[in-house]
Chain A
Amino acid sequence: MIRSIRSFLSNLRQFPATLWHSIRRRGPATSDRARSLAVFSNLFLHLHPVKVHRHTLKPSYSLGLGLLTTVFLIIITVTGILLMVYYKPTPELAYDSIKDIHFIVPTGRLIRNLHRWGAHAMVVVVFLHMARVFYTASYRSPREFNWFVGILLLALTLALSFTGYLLPWDQLAYWAITIGVNIVSSPRELTDALGITAYFDPGGFLKTLVLGAHSVGGEALIRFYLLHVMVLPLILFGLLGVHFWRIRKDGGLSRPASAEIPTDPNIFPPSPTKTYGLMAIVRGTSPVVGKGPENTVSSWPHLFIVEMAVFMLGTAIILALSIFFDAPLKEIANPAVPENPAKAPWYFLGLQELVSYSAFMGGLGIPAIVLAGLILIPYLDREQKNIGVWFSGPVGKRVTLWSLFFSCLSVVCVFAFVVRFGWLRQWFPNIPQIIIIFINPGTIYTFIFAVWSLWIMKRYNSTRMGAIALFTCFLVGYVILTYVGTSLRGPNWDFYWTKSSWPIH
Chain B
Amino acid sequence: MNMKGLAGDRPVSRRDFLGKLALGSFWAAIGTAILGMIRLPKPVVFPEVSSRLKLGRPADFPPGTVRRYREKNIFVARDNVGIYAISAVCTHLGCIVTRTAEGKFDCPCHGSKFDGAGRPLAGPAPRALDWVEIYQAPNGLLYADTLKSVPLGTKWKEPA
User: A residues touching B (Cβ–Cβ < 8 Å)?
Assistant: 175, 178-179, 181-183, 186, 189, 192-193, 205, 208-209, 212-215, 217-219, 223, 335-342, 352, 355-359, 362, 422, 425-426, 429, 433, 436-437, 491-494
Flag if A492 contacts B121 (CB, 8 Å): no
B73 at the interface (CB under 8 A from A): yes
Distance, CA A352 to CA B111, complexed state (A)? 11
List, sorted by A's number, 21 A–B pairs whose CB atoms are closer than 8 Å: A179-B93, A182-B93, A205-B42, A208-B43, A213-B43, A213-B46, A214-B48, A219-B47, A223-B41, A335-B96, A336-B96, A337-B96, A338-B96, A338-B108, A341-B108, A352-B110, A356-B109, A356-B124, A429-B121, A493-B108, A493-B110
Chain A positions within 8 Å of B95 at CB level:
175, 178-179, 338, 342
Q: Which of B42, B121, B127, B147 is within 8 Å of A214, CB to CB? A: B147
B116 at the interface (CB under 8 A from A): no
Extra A-B contacts (20), CB below 8 Å, given A219-B47, A359-B126: A182-B94, A189-B126, A192-B127, A208-B42, A209-B42, A212-B43, A213-B46, A218-B47, A219-B43, A336-B71, A336-B96, A339-B108, A342-B95, A355-B124, A356-B111, A359-B124, A362-B124, A425-B120, A433-B126, A493-B109
Chain A positions within 8 Å of B96 at CB level:
335-338
Chain B positions within 8 Å of A183 at CB level:
93
Distance, CA A494 to CA B108, complexed state (A)? 9
B104 at the interface (CB under 8 A from A): no
Residue of B with least CB distance to A183: B93
Most buried by A among B111, B124, B127: B124
Flag if B93 contacts A355 (CB, 8 Å): yes
Q: Which 3 A-B pairs have the closest CB atoms?
A: A340-B108, A493-B111, A356-B110
Q: Which of B42, B48, B92, B106 is within 8 Å of A182, CB to CB? A: B92
Distance, CA A179 to CA B89, complexed state (A)? 11
Flag if B48 contacts A217 (CB, 8 Å): yes
A352 shortest CB reach to chain B, Å: 7
A475 shortest CB reach to chain B, Å: 25
Q: Which of B48, B93, B122, B147 is within 8 Å of A425, CB to CB? A: B122
Distance, CA A219 to CA B42, complexed state (A)? 11
Most buried by A among B42, B106, B110: B110
Chain B contact residue count (CB 8 A cutoff): 30
Chain A positions within 8 Å of B126 at CB level:
189, 192-193, 358-359, 433, 436-437
B42 shortest CB reach to chain A, Å: 6
User: B residues touching A (Cβ–Cβ < 8 Å)?
Assistant: 38, 41-43, 46-48, 51, 70-71, 73, 92-96, 106-111, 120-124, 126-127, 147
Flag if B108 contacts A214 (CB, 8 Å): no
Flag if B122 contacts A422 (CB, 8 Å): yes
Chain A positions within 8 Å of B110 at CB level:
352, 355-356, 493
Chain B positions within 8 Å of A338 at CB level:
95-96, 108-109
Flag if A356 contacts B123 (CB, 8 Å): yes
Chain A positions within 8 Å of B108 at CB level:
338-342, 491-493
B92 shortest CB reach to chain A, Å: 6
Given that A338-B96, A491-B108 are known contacts, is A425 also in contact with B46, CB under 8 Å in the complex?
A: no
Residue of A with least CB distance to B73: A336
Chain B positions within 8 Å of A337 at CB level:
70, 96
A171 shortest CB reach to chain B, Å: 12
A317 shortest CB reach to chain B, Å: 33
Chain A positions within 8 Å of B51 at CB level:
214
Distance, CA A433 to CA B110, complexed state (A)? 17
Distance, CA A362 to CA B126, complexed state (A)? 13
A367 shortest CB reach to chain B, Å: 15
Residue of B with least CB distance to A223: B41
Distance, CA A362 to CA B124, complexed state (A)? 10
Distance, CA A436 to CA B120, complexed state (A)? 12
Distance, CA A342 to CA B92, complexed state (A)? 14
Q: Which of A219, A336, A355 is within 8 Å of B70, CB to CB? A: A336
B120 shortest CB reach to chain A, Å: 7
Chain A positions within 8 Å of B111 at CB level:
356, 492-494
A51 shortest CB reach to chain B, Å: 36
Q: Which of B41, B93, B120 is within 8 Å of A212, CB to CB? A: B41
Distance, CA A389 to CA B148, complexed state (A)? 62
Flag if B94 contacts A335 (CB, 8 Å): no
Given that A182-B93, A357-B124, A425-B121 are known contacts, is A175 also in contact with B109, CB under 8 Å in the complex?
A: yes
Chain A positions within 8 Å of B42 at CB level:
205, 208-209
